Amino acid sequence: MPSLDDVATARLARARDEHLLRVLRKSTRRPGGQVARPGMELISFSCNDYLGLSHDPRVIQAAHQALEDYGTGAGASRLVTGNHPLYDSLERLIAQVKGTERALVFGSGFLANLGVIPSLVGPGDLIVADRLCHASMFDAARMSRAVLATFEHNDLADCARVLETKRPRHGRCLIMTETVFSMDGDRAPIVELATLASEHDAWLLTDDAHGLGVCSSAAAEIQVGTLSKAVGGYGGYVAGSAALIEMLIQKAHTLIYTTGLPPATVAAAARAIEIIRDEPNLVEKPIANARAFTEHLRRPPASSAIVPVVVGSAERALEASAFLEEHGFLVTPIRPPSVPPGTARLRFAFSASHHPESIARVAALTVDRGFA
Ligand SMILES: Cc1ncc(COP(=O)(O)O)c(C=O)c1O
């Protein structure tokens, strides 16, 4: 067997040759959507903090207060002694904005999917997933040991075909999609998928990571999401019926066998969700900014805060991103395996704090250089 370092070095060399090497770059986020990197200040179009709530003084104050009252850490799993009183108000707020009976908070959106999906289906069952679903949903599907089938992106006819051919041979069936697709910014036909689910005796799970705080979608029976994007902090959740939540408290390993979130994180998320609930004018801004951008690009109006500009090869995506960085804009290149081969892209994420001049300028640079 080759040495571990030989294997690692060979893999790194291959990734570098294919323009797929990932690097961690020091980045300090500032209020107003700015990011400082060594030697430069950039206007970021790569943060999912769509409403700028991570720097909102009201949210910061709530976190400070919780630090004072409860200290820095939860100390144990929520099922042991980590379930401090702030969880209750956060879960009530999530259930309120989602229109469900209950909600349950996890350590992150990734952990929510890893906990929820294997608790719902197992060996002998079937998962039918949009093929562009997030990695956490596919990892969770594999962990569940249910049979996993995919349908073409947002293609209802293909989903129906998969259900017709595979559903009869399995016990339970779970259909999975995202409300807003994280790398494409388009939205799933939730009402139609819910109809297919009921016709085929299946459950529907949606991941609303990029929807909450930006755009609302029809409700599915099982709604997973994150507190790390528009909510501006960290954590994940599932919203649904009281029976579903009680069942997950018994079964979800990523709830049971991990420490609860720090109290300050829970307090910040609760305050941020109150703001999302109470300030529709703020919530409208990211999409309005995304639409200003698509208008500059002479494209159909954006349907979320995410606008992809597909450039094709990974090399071209790196080149496009470096060009925008030279002009003061941070637009991280997204390359395989995060997106399918040949569809590397610039992923523009719009926030409430972007100014019209920056949007016009970054659009002009993108078009003039022939990237869009
Ligand atoms: C669709 C989707 N689901 C889940 C996640 C994971 O959420 P978190 O960052 O809270 O782990 C993300 C992004 O990170 C996402 O885009």
**What confidence tens digit (pLDDT) does each residue in 291-334 have?**
999 999 999 999 999 999 999 999 999 999 999 999 999 999 99
Model confidence over 55-69: pLDDT tens digits? 999 999 999 999 999
355 catalytic? Reply is no
* E runs forming strands in 234-326: 236-240, 306-312
Query: CA-CA distances (angstroms) from residue 336 to 11, 154, 158, 345?
Result: 15, 20, 24, 10
Q: Which residue has the tokens 């997950």?
A: 248
Could you tell me the CA-to-CA distances from 154 to 180, 309, 311, 337, 347 in Å, in that order?
11, 19, 22, 20, 19
Strand 333-334's sheet: what is its strand order? 306-312, 344-349, 333-334
Q: What is the pLDDT of residues 6-25, one digit of tens each?
A: 999 999 999 999 999 999 99
pLDDT at 294: 98
**Catalytic site residue from 134, 200, 296, 354:** 134
Instruction: Give the predicted TM-score (pTM) of the model.
Output: 0.97
In this predicted model, what pLDDT tens digit does every residue of 270-301 receive, in sequence order? 999 999 999 999 999 999 999 999 999 999 99
- Give the DSSP letter string of 83-105: --THHHHHHHHHHHHHT-SEEEE
Percent of the chain past pLDDT 90, that is, above it, reads 99
Q: Which of 207, 228, 351, 358 is catalytic?
A: 207
Mean model confidence pLDDT for the chain: 97
Which CATH number fits the domain 20-49+284-368, given the four candidates 1.10.3210.10, 3.30.70.2190, 3.90.1150.10, 1.20.1730.10? 3.90.1150.10
Say if CB 249 and CB 80 are below 8 A apart.
no
How far apart are the CA of 227 and the centre of ligand 1, in A? 9
Residue 200: predicted pLDDT: 98
Ligand 1 centroid–CA 110 distance in Å is 6
Q: What was the pLDDT predicted at 290?
A: 98
Per-residue confidence band for 209, with pLDDT thresholds at 50, 70 and 90: very high
Q: Which contacts qualify for 154-158: CB closer than 8 Å, 24 or more apart?
A: 154/130, 154/186, 154/188, 154/189, 156/189, 156/192, 156/193, 156/196
Q: What's the fold here for domain 55-278?
A: Aspartate Aminotransferase; domain 2 (3.40.640)
Amino acid at 197: A
pLDDT score of 10: 98
**Which one of 84, 200, 229, 285 is the catalytic residue?**
229
The pLDDT assigned to 205 comes to: 98
Radius of gyration of the chain (CA): 21
166 belongs to the catalytic site: no
At 160 the pLDDT is 98
Listing DSSP states for 162-203 in one string gives HHHHHGGG-SSEEEEEESB-TTT--B--HHHHHHHHHHTT-E
* Closest to 323 (Cα-Cα) out of 368, 268, 274, 277: 368
Residue 353 CB partners (closer than 8 Å, separation 6+): 31, 32, 33, 52
Tell me the C-alpha distance between 56 and 270, whole Å.
13
Judge contact between 128 and 163, C-beta under 8 A. yes
Mean pLDDT within 217-238? 97
Q: Is 98 a catalytic residue?
A: no
> Ligand 1, residues 224, 227, 228: which to mutate, most atoms within 8 A of Cβ?
228
Q: What residue segments make up the domains of the chain, in order of their start?
A: 20-49+284-368, 55-278
Say which residues have a Cβ less than 8 Å from residue 166's Cβ, sequence separation at least 6: 126, 128, 147, 149
pLDDT mean over 187-206: 98
How far, in Å, from the CA of 315 to the mean position of ligand 1?
26
pLDDT score at 71: 97
250-261 tens-digit pLDDT: 999 999 999 999
pLDDT tens-digit profile of 125-180?
A: 999 999 999 999 999 999 999 999 999 999 999 999 999 999 999 999 999 999 99
204 and 218 Cβ atoms separated by less than 8 Å: no
